[in-house]
Amino acid sequence: MGNHHDDLARLASFFGGEEALNIVKALANAGTTTDDVIATQANVRLNTARKVLYKLYDHALVTCIRSRDEKTGWFIYHWKLQPDQLDAFVRSRKKKALEQMRTKLEFEKGHSFFVCKGCPGIRVTFEDAMESAFRCSGCNGQLVSDDNSRTIQMLEDHSRKLESELSEGPIAFADGRF
């Protein structure tokens, strides 16, 4: 359940922060509804609601049905969350993040690194440091060995967390369990 909230929060930050999160929640609670209602329930401006809805629509995370108001003749758009798509979307983003993390982890484990104390951006592998005779390409200062055990630990922790999240069941977006 905690993870579900994390998923939603992460998803929302991808689509526009707190307001997007409120919009997804409003949609999940409402079932099918109009952008007016969503804006009111999420307590955001109509334009904001529409912007987020279009983004979600672009990723096929919501569906939209158009009808015509018989009195005004204007179109009304009815929006509905696609929980399965949403779940698949979150999963695929997590899988991608996990792959990137594993690649980075392999690289960190397989190399020794050297840094320059004076240049925060300089970090090279042992091989590259050898080539420059352990001189910094930025300031020509001495490169020193960098202990990456904490980086490795952090990457391993994050990978494990993602792995366990991916092994869980689908996210329950539509049953009000936020």
* Among positions 40, 102, 128, 141, the unique one binding Zn ion when judged by CB under 5 A: 141
By CB under 5 A, how many residues form the interface with Zn ion? 7
Please check whether residue 52 is in contact with residue 20, taking contact to mean a CB–CB distance below 8 angstroms. Answer: yes
Find tokens 């009000």 and name the residue. Answer: 176
Kindly state whether residue 118 participates in binding Zn ion, applying the rule CB under 5 A: yes
Of the two residues 76 and 139, which places its CB atom closer to Zn ion in the complex? 139
User: Residues 75-94 vs Zn ion: string with x where CB under 5 A?
Assistant: --------------------
Rule CB under 5 A: say whether 138 interacts with Zn ion: yes
- 89 within 8 A of 12, measured Cβ to Cβ: no
Q: Between 97 and 116, how does the x/- string for binding to Zn ion read (CB under 5 A)?
A: -------------------x
Show Cβ contacts of residue 122 under 8 Å, excluding neighbours closer than 6 positions.
115, 116, 136, 137, 138, 143
Question: How many other CB atoms are found less than 10 A from the CB of residue 120?
Answer: 9
Q: How far apart are CA 149 and CA 155, in angstroms?
A: 10
Under the binding rule (CB under 5 A), the answer on residue 143 touching Zn ion is: no
Residues that bind Zn ion (CB under 5 A): 116, 118-119, 136, 138-139, 141
